Amino acid sequence: MIRSAAFVAILAASGLYAQNASIIVPRTADGKPDFSGTYEWPKASSGERCKCSATVFDRNLMAPLKPGGEPFFEKPNGDPRHDEPRNFCMPAGFPSGMLSANAVQFVQSKNDLVIVHEFQRMTRVIPLDGRPHRKGLEPMYLGDPVGHWEGDTLVIETNNFKRWGLDDYYYSDRNQYRMHSDALTVTEHISWKDAKTLAYRLTIDDPKIFTRAWSEDFTMAAKPEWDATGLYEYVCEENNRCPGGKCPAP
Amino acid sequence: MKIRPLPLLLAIASLSALPLLAHHSFAAEYDDSKPVQVSGVVTRVEWQNPHIWFYVDSKDESGKVTHWAFSGGAPGQLMRRGIYKDVIQPGMMVHVDGYRAKDGSNNANGAKVTFPDGRMVFTASAEDKIPEGKK
């Protein structure tokens, strides 16, 4: 990451988000907004709250389910590998993992943005060099992201997902897993909202589930003090004593 | 006993202010209808992911020793709350409030640890049920 020596004021609103002309944001050597740093996980100012620490999507913002989209609300089946796969150190996936309540570090260069989430050390490497999505991949927990700039907004489109949990809502209602399909495309819009906050929009387009794409806006607060500590290690397999709720005797 | 007063205060003050993600579902592993209260000496601490574990030997009036294992948050999560490894160490006397594992074993969610001088530290993840009251 190369950060320009001087901070440059945004002189005109551009991209998806109208930005305050007085905002001063860090920029890379090639003039793009520089998001490098450590942040809190995305949070919404209003909407549905989870009986957990993670952010969850607001049901009121979701598009209606289409006929055949009912598997979105999958129920538990008593198999812990199905009902709580993370209990076996399976990944939270994206976007669910992005919404978990941990530190998130962005490392940006001209050709890549690397997003590392402290929870499960979820790492996404997002090409910014204009390449298309890869072809012929197996469905993935984190999908296949590519990014491009629209003015001062970074737009990341991710597809090629494995069917998996959309968010952590099942902590609130064990009968609603909110499973996205393998047709999911997630689009992120990232820009500076102010000098200490990122605007972070997630657009969910899942044509097997919803009648149309829908979006929710979040913010991510910059945490310079977390830059100082750095991310902590998270190796789930290190001492996962009770997979599936079965613990050895003390 | 080696205790960092500031981290303890931060831990108490920040329990709700800095919620954290659990690796597991409390409901999947622990029974909130089976609270446990255990007093004893810490024999071992595993400051490891995905959750810390600390082990406590409790002795009853007849001298019989029962071994308990208590689960807490992830090390990184706890450190962001100001709780470091030296807060709880082998040899310390503790009183632990938590909830027993669903399998009925002597494993439990160790939600709240109280030291002999009355100070408390919350070692649970935010999703975990926290016992009411001081003891």
Contact B101 A118 (CB under 8 A): no
In a domain, A96, yes or no: yes
Contact A236 B107 (CB under 8 A): no
CATH no., domain B5-16+30-122: 2.40.50.140
pLDDT at A82: 87
Residues of A in contact with B21 (CB under 8 A): 52-54, 100-102, 119, 168
Structure confidence by residue, pLDDT tens digits, A133-152? 999 999 999 999 999 999 99
Query: Minimal Cα–Cα distance from B94 to chain A, Å?
Result: 17
Give the confidence band of A170 by pLDDT, cuts at 50, 70, 90.
confident
In a domain, A41, yes or no: yes
Indicate if the pLDDT at residue A66 is higher than 90: yes
pLDDT at B27: 67
Indicate if the pLDDT at residue A2 is higher than 90: no
User: Which of A109-113, A153-157, A160-164, B110-114 is least confident?
Assistant: B110-114
Query: Minimal Cα–Cα distance from A88 to chain B, Å?
Result: 9
In a domain, A70, yes or no: yes
Q: Quote ipTM for the complex.
A: 0.77
Domains in chain B: boundaries: 5-16+30-122
In a domain, A244, yes or no: no
Indicate if the pLDDT at residue A5 is higher than 50: no
pLDDT at A116: 98
Mean pLDDT for chain A overall = 89
pLDDT at A154: 98
pTM for the model stands at 0.84
Residues of B in contact with A174 (CB under 8 A): 27
Q: Give the nearest partner residue to B19 out of A53, A232, A241, using CB atoms.
A: A53
Structure confidence by residue, pLDDT tens digits, A23-46? 788 999 999 999 999 999 999 988
% residues pLDDT > 70 (chain A): 91
On the CB side of B30, CA atoms within 13 Å amount to: 26
Contact A87 B67 (CB under 8 A): no
- Alpha carbon distances (Å) from B105 to A150, A246, B34, B47, B129: 56, 9, 12, 21, 18
Q: Is B77 on the interface with A (CB under 8 A)?
A: yes
State how far the Cα of A4 lies from the Cα of A110, in Å rounded to an integer.
12
In chain A, residues 67-86 whose CB comes closer than 8 Å to chain B: 80, 83-84, 86
Q: Is B4 on the interface with A (CB under 8 A)?
A: no
% residues pLDDT > 90 (chain A): 74
Range of the domain at A180: 36-224
Contact B80 A174 (CB under 8 A): no
Contact A241 B53 (CB under 8 A): yes
Q: Is B42 on the interface with A (CB under 8 A)?
A: no
Give the confidence band of A79 by pLDDT, cuts at 50, 70, 90.
confident
How many domains is chain A partitioned into structurally?
1
For strands B53-59 and B30-46, give the pairing.
antiparallel
In a domain, A146, yes or no: yes
Low-confidence ranges of chain B (pLDDT < 50): 1-21, 133-135
Q: Which of B16, B24, B56, B66 is the mutation pick for testing A, counting most A CBs within 10 A?
A: B24
Of B55, B54, B53, B52, give the one whose Cα is nearest residue B75.
B52
